Amino acid sequence: MEILVEHGRGRGTGVYQRFLSIYTCEKNGLKWTHKIQLSGWHDFDAWAKEYIIERDESGKVVIRLEALRSE
């Protein structure tokens, strides 16, 4: 069993960074396994990603990352 937590840091529209952390449930509590950055800055360009949780053909849960596109 895993737990997904979306969280962020910073204040204001231009500097707020979003993350998705994945924890596994173990006998002695939660164990952090992954941290994925969903928004931020790269080469002076703002970028953002969204995630979609779905199941593949075998029934396994998959997290798909996609770039957010501005209109």
pLDDT band at 39 (very low <50, low <70, confident <90, very high): confident
Reading across the β-sheet that carries 29-37, which strands appear in turn? Answer: 2-9, 17-26, 29-37
Q: Has residue 66 got a pLDDT over 90?
A: no
DSSP run (H or E) holding 15: none
pLDDT at residue 12 tops 80: no
pTM: 0.72
b/e 3-36 (16+ beta carbons within 10 angstroms → b): eeeeeeeeeeeeeeebebeebeeeeeeeeeeeee
- Is the model's pLDDT at 65 over the cut of 90? no
For residue 14, the model assigns a pLDDT of: 67
The residue range of the domain holding 48 is: 2-67
Number of domains into which the chain is organized: 1
pLDDT for the residue numbered 71:
52
What pLDDT, on a 0 to 100 scale, did the predictor assign at position 70?
A: 56
